[in-house]
Structure 1
């Protein structure tokens, strides 16, 4: 790996509390764990990396030695050192650096991923789906288009939300991420540019890169999406734009109808297809508010917008069921693409999806109530434990985007496992070292677990050195003094 590229990802290890070699080893480990440094990547020569980082060669030597000792690297005489994903204890298995929750590990609280448990109604819905299965078992079970009953319900949900939709516009996928990959893989090819909000959902960056397309991050810190994204489209000749208008991941931002209309019309004038991720659209935590229309309802033409969604957040992550809504021609291309890859979606999961969508109002109400309580509890816990952090409670979704007041997010993520905690550094949601002053924290756990997680997080911050310990964090961009904003 180019030492300069690794240096950009690692930042200044000399600023860390404790030995620089430990900070370097921890930084590499975080990059491997969250997939930004794939297993098998060869690390730069010690002398080259030392020059880029401004540290001694012995510092790099000690860091590489620690990585090897803890299973995060291997070396062979004459071949250098390369990173690896270590074996997990107790025979557990995990994804090699992929951005997915690993297996539950005793004593570890996962605040890196936003994955709620299933709602109370799920066992009954599964039993109903199994009863429906009897009628399907007499056939061969193959259905590349997805079960008609499921596509009808997904289409009906779009129609009820103000976007008239026929079932033939729906493509069933194996989860929302599969839907994102299917849509972007169909719309953009190798070398094509795809606009993304910056920050954004990390796995979306991964699937764009895997498709051979070029990610074009568009900063949203000064201009609203309806201005920034179309301007970037004019400058880059992008083919598509991936965005979240409903409680954006990770910022929680929500676009109103006027902003959605301006955004879709301006992108369409640049011949850019909007790929709109509605993963959090059903997780509106406001009371009495009128939801905005789906973005595609504002598109000048049906082919100007593609909508993706799924049931992982509103229902359960173990239910790998998602969908794409698109115009007739791209929908047909996506179905052909999926049929070649998987032949057909699993029937039982689709039947469960039918039951979930039939009970969606009840499930949404339960989910929203619990998430609202947990969000407010976590905001209060952080206000007490980290008075220098700035946290704006989102109106929906499942995560807080915390302004730490200093670039310590990667250091917190590196030290967290020593305290039974898993964290995702803010930089995982962008490019390079951007957002290392931010931390995304999900409020999907029960309140007692959140309380224990914040206690552990306080110990992590004490270990790495928290410049905002006494509530004296820097002012934010909008002029407010650091501190929790409710």
Structure 2
């Protein structure tokens, strides 16, 4: 099947003032492929013809086609033209989290706070002490001893007695989850996960060809019976949850539910991976429950932590807290990948643990101000959207009232804002009526971004209903 330039121009509906236009054009073509209105293996019009139909330069169309080819949505052969395609799921060229710093868009797709003010002093300390390690090999597969001691001491202070030999330092929480998924999940194995949840955890389970068993997270919080039923009925031996300020909903699991969940995992012989990436980022004055592993009696709860949200994502330091035997197994497993995490960053994070309470206070001040600004501007600019204000974490999970998250994100990008639509966080590409809005940017940035999105939402809302149904 061949598509004429006029037909494609009517189909993509790119606003004439979209900036940068090539990106908006490529995004519109990609979304039409994903929602099924532009079938796979359809021959695309020639670049010159499409440029004339759209009233733009040929260079603009060529750049858009190049972008689509790089993302895997377009295939070309010299002399034969170009046709639509779907990318290899294992490729990351179209990973929505991998973006260019120079694209000019406000990055509301990522809930990543700026570096802590204590980072400079920690780097200076690491630089001054780096020479102490230069006579050795320079790497330790389980991590720098003083950092493992600091992580263990922090768990103990939070109510979970921990020894340093129960900790392995990883290159970010992402590697920690990857190692655990590789160790515990095989092809076809059921893995219980919340929906919505952390998108990269979904990707990792799919990389293992695991069978994901989704458990919905209602607006009023988790329903423990749904989790327990999913564990019992699926026969899963692995579950991944975010009990502390869940990403993206912000829900905090209470102590009683944690105890009941761990007990259910014990009854059904399930290993529970607990992602604590946001655990230290309470904003409101509340009594936080102890770590989920505090209710564990037989080593089936494995905790994953990270320095990224409390201090800075660029540090790429995470950790796993489990049994000493598990730490040794993970150290052997990581050997073919990177052997060990970078020493300099480990030294810096070990120093930062001396300032953990000061850093938490710093984050409370900045996140509280940004959260208040985001809540206020949303209620003024888009009062029809609904959300609950979480007591911690870094984002609002917004209900749009209509399944327009993907077209809204496309319209927002044309207005200079990159959004994270609900389907990114759904197991089956659902949640098209939700949007994650982080409050990790400064208040003035959030206010400007929401005003742009509010102005663009009319374009998204007027799209034909067929474009609102996600294909994945």
| Superposed pair shares fold, TM > 0.5 | yes
2: CA distance between counterparts of 1:329 and 1:298?
A: 19
2: CA distance between counterparts of 1:430 and 1:163?
A: 32
Match of 1:376 among 363, 372, 375: 372
CA RMSD of aligned residues (A): 2.9
2: CA distance between counterparts of 1:195 and 1:349?
A: 33
The two structures have a TM-score, normalised by structure 2, of 0.82
> 1:121 maps to which residue?
118
> 1:74 maps to which residue?
75
2: CA distance between counterparts of 1:434 and 1:331?
A: 36
Runs of 5+ unmatched residues, structure 1: 1-17, 48-61, 86-94, 468-486
Secondary structure, aligned partner of 1:71: helix
Contact 2:308 2:317 in 1 (8 A): yes
2: CA distance between counterparts of 1:277 and 1:444?
A: 19
- CA pair 181-138 structure 1, distance change in 2 beyond 3 A: same
Secondary structure, aligned partner of 1:342: coil
**For 1:194-235, what per-residue CA distance to the aligned partner results, in whole angstroms no more than 9, with x for missing partners?**
110011110100011112322211123388342112211111
Match of 1:361 among 337, 357, 360: 357
Secondary structure, aligned partner of 2:236: coil
Deviation of 1:178 after TM superposition, in Å, equals 1.0
2: CA distance between counterparts of 1:31 and 1:339?
A: 42
Counterparts of 1:29-428 in structure 2 under 5 Å?
Answer: 29=30, 44-46=40-42, 69=65, 71-72=67-68, 73-76=74-77, 77=80, 80-82=83-85, 96-105=93-102, 107-221=104-218, 224-287=222-285, 289-302=286-299, 304-428=300-424
Deviation of 1:253 after TM superposition, in Å, equals 0.6
1: CA distance between counterparts of 2:234 and 2:416?
A: 44
Contact 1:230 1:263 in 2 (8 A): yes
1: CA distance between counterparts of 2:145 and 2:222?
A: 39
The two structures have a TM-score, normalised by structure 1, of 0.80
Deviation of 1:44 after TM superposition, in Å, equals 2.1
Deviation of 1:268 after TM superposition, in Å, equals 1.6
Secondary structure, aligned partner of 1:227: helix
Deviation of 1:101 after TM superposition, in Å, equals 4.8
2: CA distance between counterparts of 1:246 and 1:451?
A: 27
Deviation of 1:26 after TM superposition, in Å, equals 4.3
Deviation of 1:31 after TM superposition, in Å, equals 9.5
- CA pair 388-19 structure 1, distance change in 2 beyond 3 A: farther
1: CA distance between counterparts of 2:368 and 2:241?
A: 24
Runs of 5+ unmatched residues, structure 2: 1-8, 15-24, 44-52, 55-60, 69-73, 464-472
2: CA distance between counterparts of 1:433 and 1:406?
A: 15
* Residue 445 (str. 1) matches residue 441 (str. 2): yes
Contact 2:42 2:83 in 1 (8 A): no
- CA pair 69-147 structure 1, distance change in 2 beyond 3 A: closer
Contact 1:74 1:84 in 2 (8 A): no
Contact 2:237 2:269 in 1 (8 A): yes
Secondary structure, aligned partner of 1:361: helix
2: CA distance between counterparts of 1:252 and 1:401?
A: 8
1: CA distance between counterparts of 2:181 and 2:272?
A: 10
- Tell me the matched-pair count: 418
